[in-house]
Amino acid sequence: MSIWFTEELHSYYRKGIHVQRILADEQTEYQHLQAVETEFFGNALILDGIIQLTERDNMGYHEMIVHVPMLAVKNPRRVLIVGGGDGGSLQQVLRYPSVEEAIVCELDQKVVETSRKFFPAFGDPWADPRARLLVRDAFGYLEENPGQYDVIISDTTDPIGMAERLFSDDFYKLMVRALAPGGAAATQCEQPYFDTTLIKTIYASAQALSKNPAYYYAQIPTYPGGGIGFMYVSNTPWTDGLDKPYPPGVNNYINPDVHRAAFALPEFFRRELYG
């Protein structure tokens, strides 16, 4: 029997991938969690019916959301990841020898447990003594820790349900407040074609809170429209990271040309966002 997983994102748009077998399927305290083995993309993690990552194309997301802010900051020591229970962003953060502590603030521990089981390519970054998992809501943690982090990475699901708060002006204020001087943040920031209004709202918040906000994006075939965007938020220009060497380990997506080009926006969207 042929099984297709299909996301119907709008009345006019849907996408699907061919599933070979279901690896996990449960309703956690917070969301519907599934892991499936697909024909082309390898194992995939799905939350509330939305693909979060696959083995084949996750590198575009994780490398871009991590290395852009990490490279912009000189010798980042303390890093906070909001969400990110799959461990992909944590894996990339821990490549930096300067990192002394990487905290992952994840609401749903089942995401961590399922990802450790079905995504071994992440190398179990949780075993690294620098990694620390906090199973709690990120809002409260950010309120308690002003000025503490050199880099903050908001690796969140789409703005649905509880995650909707992580795309609000209140969240961005708390996030910027939690940065140390010279720090930088990067957030998951949706897709230019489908989410222009939301991105403009988020950019306005970032612009009011930092000197050098900028939107950038990466190609991820299993995400809506084949890509996803990020918001860079910092007083430090993102260009400060362009001439720095990447940390030890292998990159599968980012390189200096991709890093630079990610901030070049299509004209229709550049006009909407920057005027």
Q: Mean pLDDT check: name the lowest of 105-109, 157-161, 241-245.
A: 157-161
Q: Which CATH number fits domain 3-53: 3.30.230.70, 2.10.10.100, 2.40.50.140, 2.30.140.10?
A: 2.30.140.10
Average pLDDT over residues 66-94: 98
Average pLDDT over residues 81-86: 97
Q: What's the rounded Cα separation, in Å, for the pair 106 and 132?
A: 11
Show the tokens assigned to 79.
């890093």
Res. 35 pLDDT band, cuts 50 70 90: very high
The domain limits of the chain are 3-53, 58-274
pLDDT of residue 1: 62
H-helix or E-strand containing 17? strand 13-27
155, 158, 169, 170: the active-site residue = 155
- Predicted structure pTM score: 0.96
The dihedral sign for the CA sequence 127, 251, 239, 210: negative
Q: Which CATH number fits domain 58-274: 3.40.50.1000, 3.30.70.270, 3.30.40.10, 3.40.50.150?
A: 3.40.50.150
Per the annotation, the verdict on 195 as an active-site residue is no
Place of tokens 């996990």: 24
Q: What's the rounded Cα separation, in Å, for the pair 31 and 117?
A: 18
Q: Is the pLDDT of residue 40 over 80?
A: yes
Q: What's the rounded Cα separation, in Å, for the pair 43 and 121?
A: 11
Residues in CB range of 270: below 8 A, 6 or more apart: none
Which tens digit of pLDDT belongs to each residue from 116-169? 999 999 999 999 999 999 999 999 999 999 999 999 999 998 766 666 777 889
Query: In the chain, what percentage of residues exceed pLDDT 70?
Result: 98
Which of 9-13, 111-115, 136-140 has the largest mean confidence?
Answer: 111-115
Would you tell me how many other CB atoms lie within 10 Å of the CB of residue 259? 23
